[in-house]
Structure 1
């Protein structure tokens, strides 16, 4: 039997199901100002970072778990709603054939540059025109791993609040600050305070190992297929190159960002 405090939904055509399912589309996320996240670990990480879902969706027939109980109590305490439904309906909401036992709806974050404190961390990741949500999620995970302050998305990037990007972030969407801006907004903001802009490049570049990195270091990566525009590279304080030993002429954008981030971390801590 469902808990009397929960709302039971049994039909695919329920308006709430339709509204939750619509959050898989960017226009509906923007209109609602919310996004979906799924999975007990991810929602638990979010809770530990102070993020409580406004709606918690539980699959009927799931195994009991104290972390689910903790989530449910937190949602009720915050005045949110807990919904119980079938695994099939939860799958329709999240778009997965084998959905997790829980999903949550969260308020989108303030993604303005003004909300960032550049002094809060020695490393920041910056991605320009990154189109793949998996790469975006991977960069968020990298940022979490190296203790970065967050990820700044420049120009037309994938939506960081898409189900795919949130899933790929493995919870880092809740630990990393996210900002979104055009290049013409970002560069004046960066030059308005301390900050070294670094990019992997072949133009007047030095080897990435042993390069003179300085905190706060903003590591810039470009589009997966086109890389960085020449004028963006020219605006960098430091351009570094990574050796390519095989036939490939470049690394995946997220991988390049991770390699460079760990080199910067080692340099700043050395």
Structure 2
């Protein structure tokens, strides 16, 4: 049942205890890409993530919080911000929150936000900028971790090339630990990406098993860098490999002949940004 705390007007807090409630059904449906695309929306769990998203200007549609969080000053403040933004606030039972998040021990706060992608044509790399392009990334954990790592090194954004996993899936958003709100994401077909790449003014570097250059020997300098990483199983397509200025390799000494995509991307990003990160670290010490 829904019991309106107030007159039920938009922005009022609604108490929801039934899994059959239409609002709950709509939010639960966001676990499926089909419905995320239809609603142009996605879920993010955790009070900190919701606050970060609001601070970064993301549009909140619905705030869901557990009854146990009632009276928490931080939750009350976020609820007020949601109402001010024209969103809906739902106070729900533990059963409803568990169903929405598909977790036995869910976070006390969940936000539903409008999706936001950066258009490829809106990317204009400047001096020292780093962008990551991912070819057909399939694993949401990998994608989320890469977005989080891109955030950590100060990369400007991530470009998804071809058919990739959804950056707004619950699993991906969880793996980003909130960085989905800080790191711009663009999507493009391989053809559109290669056409855009022709106008890229800096170094386009890809990792490849056939790469002849040790990644540690490259002077990335202050120029814009576009790092192109391949699919987990197949690596880069021939077309994307041909579109790189340099094909690099990460030497390995053990029996494994390849690295996990997120690990390899992290290794590359920290190497590309090493000089800048060192300068930043020195300035803080």
Instruction: State the TM-score, normalizing by the size of structure 2.
Output: 0.89
Residue in structure 2 matched with residue 246 of structure 1 by the alignment: 254
Within the candidate set 262, 265, 269, 1:261 is matched to: 269
- Within a 5 Å distance, the mapping from 1:52-91 to structure 2 comes to 52-62=59-69, 64-91=71-98
Structural mapping, 1:37-116, within 5 Å? 37-62=44-69, 64-116=71-123
Can you list the C-alpha shifts for 1:197-224, whole angstroms capped at 9, x where unaligned?
1111233521111303253111111111
Is 144-153 or 91-100 further displaced after alignment?
A: 91-100
**1:12 maps to which residue?**
19
Shift of 1:267: 4.4
Pair 1:228-2:236 in alignment: yes
Counterpart Cα distance in 2 of 1:92 and 1:121: 45
More moved, 68-77 vs 119-128: 119-128
Equivalent of residue 150 in structure 1, options 157, 160, 178:
157
For this pair of structures, how many residues does the alignment match?
270
C-alpha change, 1:101 and 1:114, in structure 2 (3 Å) is: same
Structure-1 residue corresponding to 2:224 = 216
Partner Cα distance (1:15, 1:39) in 2: 23
1:129-187 residue CA offsets vs partner (Å, 9 max, x unmatched):
11000000000001100101111000011000001101110000000000011111011
- The 5 Å alignment of 1:111-260 reads 111-119=118-126, 122-214=129-221, 215-260=223-268
Unmatched runs of 5 consecutive residues or more in structure 2: 7-11, 280-285
Question: Which 5+ residue runs of structure 1 have no aligned equivalent?
Answer: none
- Tell me by how many angstroms 1:120 deviates: 8.2
Cα deviation 1:233-262 (Å, max 9, x = unaligned): 122011111110100001100110000000
Asked whether the 8 Å contact 1:75–1:82 carries over to 2, the reply is yes
Contact in 2 for aligned 1:121/1:147 (Cα 8 Å)? no
Mapped partners of 1:204, 1:110: distance in 2: 32
Could you tell me whether the CA contact under 8 Å between 2:117 and 2:187 is conserved in 1? Answer: no
Following TM superposition, by how much is the alpha carbon of 1:63 offset from its aligned partner in structure 2, in angstroms? 6.5
CA distance 1:170–1:204, shift in 2 (3 Å) = closer
Alpha-carbon distance in structure 1 between the residues aligned to 2:72 and 2:137:
37
CA contact (8 A) 2:194 2:240 kept: no
Alpha-carbon distance between aligned partners in 1 of 2:127 and 2:105, rounded to the nearest angstrom: 39
